[in-house]
Chain A
Amino acid sequence: AQTVTQSQPEMSVQEAETVTLSCTYDTSESDYYLFWYKQPPSRQMILVIRQEAYKQQNATENRFSVNFQKAAKSFSLKISDSQLGDAAMYFCAYRSNNQGGKLIFGQGTELSVKP
Chain B
Amino acid sequence: DAGVIQSPRHEVTEMGQEVTLRCKPISGHNSLFWYRQTMMRGLELLIYFNNNVPIDDSGMPEDRFSAKMPNASFSTLKIQPSEPRDSAVYFCASSFPGTNTEAFFGQGTRLTVV
Contact = CB atoms under 8 A, between A and B. Distances in A.
B107 interface: yes
Contact of A91 (B43, B50, B102): B43
Given A43-B89, A47-B102, A96-B99, A102 B43 contact: no
A101 B108 CA distance: 21
A105 B35 contact: yes
B99 A33 contact: yes
B41 interface: yes
B31 A101 contact: yes
Contact of B42 (A52, A95, A102, A105): A105
A20 to B, nearest CB: 20
Nearest to A47: B102
A107 B107 CA distance: 19
Which of B56, B91, B95, B99 is most buried by chain A, counting CB atoms within 10 A of its CB?
B99
B42 A91 contact: yes
Contacts of B15: none
A50 B56 CA distance: 23
A45 B42 contact: no
Interface string A82-115: 0000000001000111011111111110000000
B100 interface: yes
Interface string B71-114: 00000000000000000010101010011101101011000000
Interface of B: 31, 33, 35, 41-43, 45, 48, 50, 55-56, 89, 91, 93, 95, 98-100, 102-103, 105, 107-108
